[in-house]
Each structure stands twice: as structure tokens, then as C-alpha cells.
Structure 1
């Protein structure tokens, strides 16, 4: 087995880790690497999206506890570690005009407080690579945007010995990726594969509603089709959030594995040299023992953005 490395994935709510980058996480964990999901909120304000559970009294009585149990089952399905950052779900505001966010929610927490909590976790786990959402949050949920902001800031601050000195010894994460695996390109490719085979595509409605999302430029594709079953098991573990009869599970897995057998990521920052070709491994180029002063870690050298350098701070 190759030397064990560490990957940290920062997510907003329980279930996000199972719909974005989940098969990659399962692959790395199966290969002997340590994978940790940091869940920023408890998902307390999530709606029950599974119609079979919509009126379940146990769920309605204790949504926070139920979602924690779902998260534990999903983590077990993926073979990963998981920690809670401890903030409260902001909910998804709806209406015109939008209502104010609830007092004390994650999106309204002072940035330095939220970043400090994540810096402590980074310095404890000491990941070689981090993943998070892009500056739009993947989609504009306030908790997703906040998760992006604190992940990028923590990537920088965790390596700085003058930042959050009480949060542990400095640690320089070597690469930061945006998880762009749930993309319009992917859904369009799967939709076309279904229609080309004379099958009814479950994605037509999704494309008509969300096909105008910004398209990201992936710089890494991780082959992970062998771990789609673990991904699906993790999704089903979030029974309040995932309809097992919904559109996602109507895609034949053999066709998905043929057409789109990977998950995609966009390199946002790196402290190690990177090439211009498409990567097939998020750990490419990392130094297993970590970076020393003088390598862009703790000596004040800034990390190098990739491509157009959209950092979203």
C-alpha cells in the first residue's frame, strides 16, 4: 500500500458529503488514506424531502438528533471520519424579498470565530489536501457560501504561526480544491446517454431548472466508479433528505460508470508545484511528511493560485 495521506472535505450540512465527492472519499479511504469530513452545521433546518418520512413523529420531534444518526451511518458507508464544527444551520431563505437569516445561524457567525474553529480542526487533523465549495457555494445557499469562505481563509491561516496561536501548531495544507463534481456538464452527459439509448432521462427537469449554473473548469478527474455503490449507500443513509425513488437513483449505474466514471475538482490554491494537464489524483505532488519553512508554509510565502486565481475571499 502507498503511504497514508490525509484529505479533509469541508461541507455545510450532513448529506452534502454524500452528494459531492463521496465516491472519491470512499476510494481514498479504501486505499488506506485518512479522509475526514468536517460538517459545519447540524442541518437542523433542513426539510424532510423523503415523502415516506414527511410526517414521521420521531423525526419531527428530534430533527437534530436524527440527522446526526444519519450522518454516522453515511460516514460508515463511505469508510471515512467525520467531525462537527458545531454551528447552527441557517436554512434556505425563500421569498421576494428574502426574509432575514435567523439570529445565531452559521451564515451570521463572525468570520474570525468560524475560521478559528476550522483552523483548530485543520491543525489537529493535518490534512495534505482540502476540498470545499467554490465561491458561489456550488449553489447560493448561505451556509455553502460561508463554508467556502471559512475553508479558503483556514487554508491560509492554519499555516500562519501568528494566526490563531491558541488553535494548535501551524500546519500548511498543500493543495485546496473546489469540489465541482455535481456539475451541469455531468448532468447533461448523463441525460444524453439516456436519450441516445432510447431511455427516459430523469434529468430533463433538473436541466431546465438549473442548466444556467456557472460552469467551472475542472483541473482534476478522480476515477471512482467502483465506489458508486458506497456513495449510493451513504446517500440513502440520509433518509430524511434523499428520496430513494427520486431522479438521482433512476440513472442506471452501468451507464453512469461508462459515461462519467469520475468526480471532478478545480484546483484553487497550491503550495506545491502543479502541472497544466488534467490531474487524476488529488494527492499528486504532495510531500507526505509536510512542508517545512521555506516551502511556502510558515515563512510568509503566499500560496499560488491556479488558472484565473478566483479565490472568493
Structure 2
């Protein structure tokens, strides 16, 4: 199998997820000549306006979808990556007690084989050596994030099976599957302590207390990719999602010099490897690169 050029696929649920999860990593690898493809499962049609400084009123899902397509294009340009829409409909984030039913036809309610087939076809076309996505919890309990994990897991295992999803291209088996760890308790608490030590107000205080109170188990990170030199690419991509990201808000509350000093990496959990490797790693392509 040729591994030149190397290829990385990052699978995400909504436009903006690629900019808040693993963005500096994808920018780093793209700058190094790795072919990087971001796959977005849904159009983000049911997203709310989360940026209080966004001036436009968006009333309809079709209008939101059109805006987020433009935002996604600008974010991909900021990261230097290619992008593909998988073509499914945002499920929205149900709220209330009891939770309301999900809307008919949404991504989370699609039969698993339908989006899996679509992703297998993209995998067989792009032929990634490495795939990144979310852990089984989705990172947080959004139905699209959980379904994104399920689809990515299923497609990773089916893409190399000649008997699976016949008619979607020649079989191709990605070699490694990783889960993003961008909002791990380790990272959040480290940045929180650094802000307090610097005499600054931390945006993470409530988050730390809530996570500790709920005793949420921490998943084990196996791989730490040095990428501080690409935080500016990540930040530009975040700002491109103007409907979702407040340029004066949470994502920019930690001074970049503080972040570079105490957390210059993005972390991942190696879920599957078809090549020999040992952890901890500092490269998603460990065990794959031609020496």
C-alpha cells in the first residue's frame, strides 16, 4: 500500500465542529502536505444563533443552511483542508423534560446503513489512512454527535470489506481510527488552573465544578499532537462560523500565550489500529509513515 501522500479524514456532525475539535491538528498536517478531508454529516440547519453579536435574523432552516455553507467554506479555507458534505439533515438539540421527539427525516433517525453507505463511498473515494471522529458518547449528548460516532465506526470497519455496500467503489481499509479529546477534563482543568495562577478570570470554573460533581469518567488520551503554531488557523476557522462563535466569547477567553505555554497540543484516543504502534504517540500517522 502506498502511503504517499498521507491522507487524513476528520468526520464531524455539524459545520463548526471541525473548527472546535482537532482544527489545529488538521491545519498542521495540511501545511505539511498531508491531504486532509473534513466530512460534515449535516448542514446545521437547526442550529441557533449562538453569537450575540451576529446582527442578522435567521428565521428558516433553509436560510440557516445557506449561511452555514458559506461559513464552512471559509473555515475550510482557513484550515487549508478540503471539505465534503455528507448531505443529512440536522437533528437539532432536543430540550425539555421530557425531551421532545426528534424531527422526522433527521440524521439521528436515519437507518444506520443509510449514512454509513454514504460515508463508505467517500472513504473509498478519498482513501484515508487515518480517520478521526467522536467517542461513543459523542463528546456530549447531542443526537447528531452520537450518530456521527456510530456512522464513523461502522464505515471505518465496512470500507475495506468487498462484500459491504457493493457499488460504492473499490474497498479501502483505513489504518487507524481516533476519537477527538478537545474538551477533556484534563485540558479544561489545566487551562482553568493556568488562568487562576495568572490572576485572570477563568471561563471554565462552572464547567470544572459541574464535571467533578457528576463524576464523569475521563477517557484515556493516547496521542498528543503538537500544534500550537496553528492555533491562529484554528481561531480564524472558528471566527468564520459567525452564527455560532462569539469572537469575544468562550473560545477566545484564554490568552493564546497562556494556552501555548500550558497546552500546546490537541489530544486523541486511538480506538483502532491496523498497524503496529505504541502509545503514547505524538503523530496520528505513527506506524504508517514510510521511513
TM-score computed with the length of structure 1 as normaliser = 0.88
1:71, CA displacement in angstroms? 0.3
1:182, CA displacement in angstroms? 1.9
Q: Which moved more, 1:70-79 or 1:199-208?
A: 199-208
1:231 paired to 2:230: no
Alignment RMSD (CA, Å): 1.4
CA distance in 2: counterparts of 1:20 and 1:77, whole angstroms: 15
The corresponding residue for 2:71 is: 70
Q: Which moved more, 1:139-148 or 1:60-69?
A: 60-69
CA distance in 1: counterparts of 2:231 and 2:77, whole angstroms: 15
CA distance in 1: counterparts of 2:250 and 2:81, whole angstroms: 26
The corresponding residue for 1:108 is: 109
1:287, CA displacement in angstroms? 6.0
The corresponding residue for 1:159 is: 160
In structure 1, the residue corresponding to 2:53 is in which secondary structure?
Answer: helix
Contact 1:191 1:204 in 2 (8 A): yes
1:254 paired to 2:257: yes
The corresponding residue for 2:21 is: 20
1:3, CA displacement in angstroms? 4.4
CA distance in 1: counterparts of 2:209 and 2:89, whole angstroms: 32
1:60 paired to 2:62: no
The corresponding residue for 1:214 is: 217
Alpha carbons of structure 1 residues 56 and 210: separation in structure 2 relative to 1, 3 Å: farther
CA distance in 1: counterparts of 2:162 and 2:179, whole angstroms: 25
CA distance in 1: counterparts of 2:266 and 2:47, whole angstroms: 26
1:205, CA displacement in angstroms? 2.5
TM-score computed with the length of structure 2 as normaliser = 0.95
CA distance in 2: counterparts of 1:52 and 1:142, whole angstroms: 27
The corresponding residue for 2:131 is: 130
Map of 1:164-175 to 2, 5 A cutoff?
Answer: 164-175=165-176
1:243 paired to 2:251: no
CA distance in 1: counterparts of 2:38 and 2:22, whole angstroms: 11
Number of aligned pairs?
A: 284
The corresponding residue for 1:280 is: 282
CA distance in 2: counterparts of 1:125 and 1:261, whole angstroms: 30
In structure 1, the residue corresponding to 2:237 is in which secondary structure?
Answer: helix
CA distance in 2: counterparts of 1:156 and 1:201, whole angstroms: 41
The corresponding residue for 1:305 is: none
Q: Deviations over 1:110-152 (max 9, x none)?
A: 1111100000000000000000100000011000000000101
Alpha carbons of structure 1 residues 179 and 173: separation in structure 2 relative to 1, 3 Å: same
Q: Deviations over 1:194-229 (max 9, x none)?
A: 111222212212323445443110010000000000
Long gaps (5+) in structure 1: 289-313
Alpha carbons of structure 1 residues 45 and 214: separation in structure 2 relative to 1, 3 Å: farther
Contact 1:202 1:248 in 2 (8 A): no
CA distance in 2: counterparts of 1:172 and 1:93, whole angstroms: 35
CA distance in 2: counterparts of 1:200 and 1:235, whole angstroms: 22
In structure 2, the residue corresponding to 1:177 is in which secondary structure?
Answer: strand
CA distance in 1: counterparts of 2:289 and 2:167, whole angstroms: 26
In structure 2, the residue corresponding to 1:52 is in which secondary structure?
Answer: coil
CA distance in 2: counterparts of 1:267 and 1:33, whole angstroms: 19
